[in-house]
Amino acid sequence: MSDARDKAVVLLSGGLDSATCLAMAQADGLECHALSVDYGQRHRTELEAARRVARARGVNDHRVVRVDLTAIGGSALTEPAIAVPTELSEGIPVTYVPARNTVFLSLALGLAETLDARLLYVGANAVDYSGYPDCRPAFVQAFQELARVATRTGVEGTPWEVRAPLMHLTKADIICAGMRLGVDYAQTVSCYQADDQGRACGQCDSCRIRREGFRVAGVADPTHYRQGGAD
């Protein structure tokens, strides 16, 4: 029987960051259980990307949980009436999904407790990112404390750990780390409005950050763009 500290639940969106995060958890020698969330996101093709990544990385337990965040709305990713911006904006952009990472980590926490795992991995990043508040160190630290007081295993004295190994890396650093770990970024989808074939628009905030990351890393960009999308 494996020890609880040898198992981890990894949030896997199907994007560049989460694919790298999964590879890092595996490199740490952990038994990884991947969790993706179908929350009604505009870019639902990322879920198929998550399945591809999980298969390619040999993850035997990959679960997709359905949570309808369109009922809350308030984001360009969950509300069709709000357009995905193609220009940089001041402050937190409209692609921020209210409480998304809180919901995702809560689901991962519940799954981890049933699996007798005590490690959660999330691909949050606070360097080359869109400015979301739930991608910052303070959030990760606060959620780890929440896990300690909100779960049976936590109050019984078993420590939880939320690991965000990408938190202080640039996008180029993340890409270089993933390349060393054999991540196939052609399998990933990061675009906020990818089409049904998973092709990226090349214009949204996520596409711009991803493309610049490959440029700075000196790695050929394997992203599948719609015609003219990478211009």
Domain covering 4-217 in this structure, CATH number: 3.40.50.620
Residue with tokens 């369109």: 70
The whole-angstrom distance between residue 154's C-alpha and the CA centroid of its chain comes to 25
- Reported pTM: 0.94
Domains of the chain, by residue range, sit at 4-217
Q: Is 62 in contact with 36 (CB distance < 8 Å)?
A: yes
Per-residue confidence in pLDDT tens, the chain, 231 aa: 456 669 999 999 999 999 999 999 999 999 999 999 999 999 889 999 999 999 999 999 999 999 999 999 999 999 999 999 987 777 899 999 999 999 999 999 999 999 999 999 999 999 877 789 999 999 999 999 999 999 998 999 888 999 999 999 999 999 999 999 999 999 999 999 999 899 999 999 999 999 999 999 999 999 999 876 665
Q: What gap in Å lies between CA 217 and CA 195, rounded to an integer? A: 26
Q: SS3 for 16?
A: helix
